[in-house]
């Protein structure tokens, strides 16, 4: 049975356009007079104006690493190259910040900008840009709250030089939160202690962009955020899988893939004790095989179509 349409409350101004309603706190009464909280009324309509960008970081030289830092890497940083009037400000992109703050301004005026935030508009690039602009105006020592953006809000690509690649530094933990800080607040220290428990060992490979080895408990994996369009990538992976060459060596196997922010990330299981260094050469060799397979424009064979269907069934969408 379909859901019943809700009857407007007596006196509610249901026809008021969102553009005519002032923005207020999410828990405050909606200024339209409906009697509901803003988040359940025109605030919900405002949030719906942002449709999650298929590839929010498209056009940036390090799009794949940005997706990796947002979705799979526990502790990493990278310096951003700002343009325009703020080109001299020091801004460091970080996977996560204390209490999941979107950004914070240190006492020296440098900014930490967090990628892994709990909520947002659905467009990660605009959320980051909004937090960055707020941080650029904030006083030293202040955390920055997550704002509310619209389809007209700037993207991160509008504030930085998108052609400059990131130099990603992977960390064993989150001590970078308090580097150079002698008197970190107690809540920051407590958050740091909690975060240590999920900073599983992670290494970015040197020979393959945006490929990250990790050990989670008693398992090791390689996860590669690829820059390729999904359809040719799946065809290429299917050709290799059908030929028995989609692995990274003995006792390794391609176990599936996930999508995040418009990109596809294949995942391999590795024997415990493999380590990141041992997988460098096999990963580079795989990338070369994949390039050849993707360049093959012949129709897929029956075995390759079967392999492709199996791979498609093992995909998970994160964002």
Of 180, 198, 216, the residue at which a domain comes to its end is 198
Please check the confidence at residue 309 and state whether its pLDDT lies above 50: yes
Task: For residue 54, tell me if it sits in a domain.
Answer: no
Q: What's the mean per-residue pLDDT of the chain?
A: 85
pLDDT at position 300 is 97
Maximum CA pair distance of the chain? 70
Same domain, 39 and 78: no
Q: 62: which 2 tokens? A: 């390090």
pLDDT in tens, 36-91: 766 577 665 544 445 556 899 999 999 999 999 999 999 999 999 999 999 999 99
Q: Global pTM?
A: 0.81
Name the 3-class secondary structure at 169: strand
Same domain, 40 and 129: no
Report the first-to-last Cα separation within the chain, whole angstroms.
30
Structural domain count of the chain: 3
Task: For residue 299, tell me if it sits in a domain.
Answer: yes
C-alpha–C-alpha distance, residues 213 and 5, integer Å: 50
Q: What is the pLDDT confidence band of residue 151, given thresholds at 50, 70 and 90?
A: confident
Same domain, 123 and 226: no
Same domain, 41 and 72: no
Same domain, 260 and 231: yes
pLDDT at position 3 is 39
* Mean pLDDT, range 154-177, rounded to an integer: 93
Same domain, 40 and 115: no
Residue numbers of the domain that contains 148:
63-198
Please check the confidence at residue 264 and state whether its pLDDT lies above 80: yes
What is the DSSP code (8-state) at residue 298?
S
Of 179, 198, 217, the residue at which a domain comes to its end is 198
Same domain, 288 and 187: no
Q: What is the pLDDT confidence band of residue 15, given thresholds at 50, 70 and 90?
A: very low
pLDDT in tens, 76-129: 999 999 999 999 999 999 999 887 889 999 988 999 999 998 767 889 999 999
Q: 316: which 2 tokens? A: 């998970």
Q: What is the pLDDT confidence band of residue 22, given thresholds at 50, 70 and 90?
A: low
| Close Cβ partners of 115 (under 8 Å, ≥ 6 residues apart) | 66, 69, 70, 93, 94, 95, 96, 124, 128
Same domain, 189 and 210: no
- Is beta strand 253-260 parallel, antiparallel or unpaired with respect to 202-204? unpaired
- The residue ranges of DSSP E strands in the chain, in sequence order, are 76-80, 91-94, 103-105, 111-114, 143-144, 169-170, 202-204, 211-216, 219-224, 253-260, 263-270, 315-317
Same domain, 107 and 188: yes
Same domain, 226 and 140: no
3-state DSSP of 236-265: HHHHHHHCCCCCCCCCCEEEEEEEECCEEE
Please check the confidence at residue 239 and state whether its pLDDT lies above 90: yes
Task: For residue 12, tell me if it sits in a domain.
Answer: no
């Amino acid at each position: 049975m379909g859901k019943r349409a809700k009857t407007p409350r007596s006196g509610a101004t249901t026809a008021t356009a969102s553009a005519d309603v002032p923005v207020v706190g999410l828990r405050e009464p909606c200024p339209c007079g409906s009697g509901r909280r803003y988040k359940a009324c025109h605030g919900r309509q405002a949030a719906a104006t942002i449709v999650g960008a298929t590839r929010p970081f498209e056009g940036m030289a390090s799009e794949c690493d940005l997706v990796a830092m947002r979705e799979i890497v526990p502790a990493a940083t990278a310096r951003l190259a700002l343009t325009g009037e703020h080109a001299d400000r020091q801004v460091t992109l970080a996977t996560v910040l204390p209490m999941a703050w979107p950004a914070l301004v240190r006492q020296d005026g440098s900014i930490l900008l967090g990628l892994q935030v709990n909520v947002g508009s659905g467009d990660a690039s605009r959320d980051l840009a909004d937090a960055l602009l707020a941080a650029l105006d904030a006083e030293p020592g202040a955390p920055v709250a997550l704002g509310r953006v619209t389809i007209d809000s700037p993207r991160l690509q509008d504030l930085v030089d998108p052609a400059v690649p990131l130099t990603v530094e992977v960390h064993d933990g989150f001590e970078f939160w308090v580097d150079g800080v002698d008197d970190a607040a107690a809540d920051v220290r407590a958050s740091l202690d909690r975060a240590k428990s999920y900073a599983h060992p992670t290494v970015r490979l040197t020979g393959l962009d945006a490929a990250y080895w990790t050990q989670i408990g008693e398992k090791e994996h390689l996860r590669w955020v690829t820059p390729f369009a999904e359809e040719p990538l799946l065809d290429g992976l299917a050709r290799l899988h059908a030929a028995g060459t989609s692995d990274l060596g003995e006792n390794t196997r391609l176990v599936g893939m996930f999508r995040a922010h418009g990109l596809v990330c294949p995942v391999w299981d590795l024997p415990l004790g493999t380590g990141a260094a041992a997988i460098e050469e096999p990963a580079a060799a795989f990338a070369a095989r994949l390039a050849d397979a993707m360049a093959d424009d012949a129709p897929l064979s029956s075995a390759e179509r079967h392999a492709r269907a199996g791979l498609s069934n093992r995909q998970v969408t994160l964002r």
